[in-house]
Amino acid sequence: MATYSASRLQGISMFVQAVDAGSFTAAAQRLRVTKSAVGKSVATLEQRLGVRLLERTTRRLALTEEGSDFYQSCLKVLAELDEAESRAASRRREVAGTLRISLPASFGRRWVMPQLLKIAREHPKLRLDVRFCDRAVDLLEEGIDMVVRLGEPGNSAFLSSRYLGHQRVVTCASPAYLAERGSPSCAADLATHDCLTFAAAGGIMPWMLPRDAANTTSLMIEGRHTVSDGEALRLAALDGLGVAQLPTWLVADALASGALIAVVAPQGVLGTPIQALWPTTRDLAPKIRATVDELLAQFLPLAPWDSPPQAHRSLTAAVGPLS
């Protein structure tokens, strides 16, 4: 592909301005440069093309035949460039283009996808490219505009982030299991129960349990069964297979209906953060800004899965948009 220097485009612009103004002097005044700068730029352009574009007289400039053809072509090029710049500027102001977003599978389906659908309905020029993946994707390497991540952001030197809240985890089991095996009231009691542990890429995940009234501790639990998918782990707990520790965003409905019962620390304990991240090397495009603002409004100050719907609606108005 051919390369174009700034001086090359400048020469075309000065040539068109000279023709439109009728003289080098008038063109120089419009461009706020010297008359000699305009004359030199046009002469360089003629030398590069190998044709004479203008006939100079003491009073005015006149286009040659070759100059007239070239002038018309330059007008088209500059008009297309102006239109391209206008489109680009418009896209910066409106939510448009393709949003390539990566979401954790279960959380993304349950809580982020409904918000993306809402944004897509409100902004018909927006196109969604949604990837569900529980691994930590490389945004720059994989061409992703933004991610929602559960847990610490990891190496975020090249990422901008916005805090969307914290997960809250509960230790829970089905009523049928608790009726048969009893209800554990502290961490020590879990040793006599069938525990269902969660496996991630790095191995078995520890449980977060209360250490005292104000603090929590991370504890490795020996599980009878291990599952590497949150939805499947939820299903195993609902089926009475044992005691599991699950985030409230995944089991709030089951806790509310009584299908699962929280034990040990019924109020739950604070887990890992929820964050939106995007590359710092990219401008904060309207499509990213609109998405993050919508997630902020829905998740803060009270997450919808941890608060009554009416209370959530009344409090979201206090959350400001992405600054």
Supply the pLDDT for residue 319: 36
| Higher-scoring residue by pLDDT: 131, 30 | 131
Beta strands (DSSP E) in the chain are 54-56, 61-63, 97-103, 126-132, 146-150, 159-173, 195-200, 203-204, 207-210, 216-219, 225-227, 243-247, 261-263, 269-279
Domain boundaries in the chain? 6-93, 99-165+273-316, 168-271
pLDDT of 270 reads 85
User: pLDDT higher for 320 or 106?
Assistant: 106
pLDDT at position 321:
45
**pLDDT of residue 173 exceeding 90:** yes
What is the pLDDT averaged over residues 294-316?
67
Answer yes or no: CATH 3.30.1370.100 is held by domain 99-165+273-316. no
**200 pLDDT more than 70:** yes
| pLDDT exceeds cutoff 70 at 157 | no
Where residue 172 falls among pLDDT bands split at 50, 70, 90?
A: very high
Residue 89, pLDDT score = 56
Q: Which of the pair, 21 or 262, is modelled with greater confidence? A: 262
Fold of 6-93: Arc Repressor Mutant, subunit A (1.10.10)
Residue of higher predicted confidence among 215 and 226: 226
Residue 48, Cα to own-chain centre: how many angstroms?
A: 46
Decide: pTM greater than 0.85: no
123 pLDDT band, cuts 50/70/90, is very high
Give every CB contact of residue 297 below 8 A, 6+ residues apart in sequence: 316, 319, 321
Residue 224 CB coordination number (10 Å): 13
Q: How far apart are CA 100 and CA 88, in angstroms?
A: 19
Same fold, 99-165+273-316 and 168-271: yes
How far apart CA 281 and CA 144 sit, in angstroms, is: 12
CA distance 77 to 97: 25
Q: Kindly give the interhelix angle for 35-49 and 24-31, rounded to the nearest 10 degrees.
A: 110
CATH superfamily of 168-271: Periplasmic binding protein-like II (3.40.190.10)
The pLDDT confidence band at residue 145, using thresholds 50, 70 and 90, is confident
Q: Say whether pLDDT at 313 is over 50.
A: no
Q: Is 47 helix (H, G, I), strand (E, B) or coil?
A: helix
pLDDT at 148: 92
Give the integer Cα–Cα distance in Å for 221 and 195. Answer: 8
Q: Exposed, middle or buried: residue 54 (CB in 10 Å: 0-12, 13-18, 19+)?
A: buried
- Average pLDDT for the chain: 82
pLDDT range class, residue 92, cuts 50, 70, 90? low
Q: CA of 87: how far to CAs of 77, 81, 84, 94, 129, in Å?
A: 15, 10, 5, 10, 22
| Per-state percent for the chain, helix, strand, coil, to nearest 5 | 45, 25, 30
| Angle, CA of 294, 111 and 302, to the nearest 5° | 65
Average pLDDT over residues 172-188: 92
Please determine, for residue 154, whether its predicted confidence score (pLDDT) is greater than 80: no
